[in-house]
Amino acid sequence: MQNLARYWATGYDWRKAEAKLNALPQFVTTIDGVDIHFIHVRSKNPNALPLIINHGWPGSVLEQIKLIGPLTDPVAYGGKAEDAFDVVIPSMPGYGFSGKPTTTGWGPEHMARAWAELMHRLGYRHYVAQGGDWGAFVVDQMGLQAPPGLLGIHTNMPATVPADVDRALQIGAPAPAGLSAEEKRAYEQLAHTFNVVNYARIMGSRPQTLYGIADSPVGLAAWLLDHNDADAQPAAAVASALDRTKSKAGELTRDEILDNITLYWLTNTGVSASRLYWEYKGGFFNAKGVKIPVAVSVFPGEQYQAPRSWTEKAYPNLIYYHQAEKGGHFAAWEQPTIFAQELRAAFRPLR
């Protein structure tokens, strides 16, 4: 942290990140009393499929901006014209340049309704939605609500865990009998995850006692970074970037990590972003009962690799399932080329 803070104070240049953001068309609209900031880039292809993409915590719209080119102009990135998307990337309430709710109730369920309203305001009669991390919760809720015009969703953190497995995980019991080798591996990964998410429990119970991260930039940086667990995901890619000064394909850099942290600092959203954990009262990886078309990409560095067997039961209208070769919890940020390819393939059946 001392090394990072020293570089942040003396060598880092926020203006570069600012220029990247300012090069994109950004807007603000008010939904249910809260200002919603969003990036909106239309493809030149008149038949482009509208897509709303949801970030998570401790992320921001900076996670997804590398996707904009490959999705809106696929030909320029080795794809086909018919795979073009119009892209909408909102900042969640309490995050980034969106407003901070002053009343309770802005959980994933409310955000799902807000994103449907946003796409309606933009004039889209049909669209698809994508999410990872908290964004995965939002798109699952969109799938449950099934608003008019929503053709399907894509998730890279699917909620597939069967009820008996979820019960065992909640009480720390052994895995239920009869699991396949792939399912046992997923159970072990989830059991490990539940043992290392105390930061989420703190935010879920007393988020507003974290005011220290609103007062200290180094405190905020430490809170947003300290999720590395013996070089396991979700934060291994983030932690390994702390000393990386030059970008390589599929690798984050120190500046990219600081771009995201600086956005939290400048907008004073460390505490307001944490409240989402308090708002949500449902389960995390348990199957939710989504019936609309669903596409799933499983990344090798995710918190768990959702088995196809669980995925098919959790999402009975599964239109796509693929295990990507690289990438982790921050897959869109780490592996934008692979992620864009996943989205093209995932939504092709819905065009």
Q: What is the pLDDT of residues 25-39, one digit of tens each?
A: 999 999 999 999 999
Q: Go through the chain and tell me how many residues it has.
A: 351
pLDDT > 70? residue 322? yes
Tell me, what's the pLDDT at 228?
Answer: 52
Chain-centroid distance, C-alpha 250: 17
Q: Does the pLDDT value for residue 237 go beyond 70? A: no
Identify the pLDDT of residue 230: 43
State phi, psi for 348 to the nearest 5 degrees: -55, -40
- State mean pLDDT over 6-11: 94
Contact present, 37 and 28 (Cβ < 8 Å): yes
Query: Which residues pair with residue 297 across a beta bridge?
Result: 322
pLDDT in the model for residue 198: 83
CA 289, distance to chain mean position in Å, is 20
All structural domains of the chain: 2-160+196-350 (3.40.50.1820)
Is 163 buried (19+), middle (13-18) or exposed (0-12) by CB count in 10 A? exposed
3-state helix, strand, coil split of the chain in percent (to 5) is 45, 15, 35
Spatial neighbors of 10 by CB under 8 A, at least 6 apart, are none
The predicted structure's pLDDT at residue 259: 95
Handedness of CA 263, 241, 52, 70 (dihedral sign): positive
% of residues, the chain, pLDDT over 90: 79
Q: Does the structure show a pLDDT above 80 at 113?
A: yes
Which residues are part of the catalytic machinery? Answer: 133, 277, 329
Cα 219 to Cα 56, 96, 212, distances in angstroms: 20, 18, 7
When pLDDT is cut at 50, 70 and 90, the band that residue 197 belongs to is confident
Instruction: State pLDDT tens for residues 278-301.
Output: 999 998 999 999 999 999 999 998
- Tell which phi-psi region holds residue 332, choosing left (phi > 0), alpha (psi between -120 and 50) or beta: alpha
Average pLDDT, the chain: 92
